[in-house]
Amino acid sequence: MRFPEDVIDDLKRVAPLRGFTGYQPLIRAYVGQGLRVDLEQLDTDQVTCLVESLKRRGVSESTIEEALAEAARR
């Protein structure tokens, strides 16, 4: 990947302040954090869509809540 020189300079400045030995591990950390946020949002969106679909099909709120609680315990 190629980054603008000013971005690399900023990463090099921030890396030691965040406890990283170089800017590349900082980039990996930023990508990992962003990916986890996106995956969590994706999972939340999928669960929300599933719950809404089950409600439209007449599954009771209590059954859905029980199933969600059971899944959370796993």
pLDDT tens column, 24-59: 999 999 999 999 999 999 988 999 999 999 999 999
Q: Are 26 and 11 in contact (CB under 8 A)?
A: yes
Two tokens, residue 1: 């990947």
With both helix axes pointing from N to C terminus, report the angle between 61-73 and 23-56 in degrees, rounded to the nearest 10. 150
Whole-model pTM: value is 0.64
CA gap 43, 51 in Å, rounded: 12
Q: Are 15 and 22 in contact (CB under 8 A)?
A: yes
**What is the pLDDT, as a whole number, of residue 57?**
96
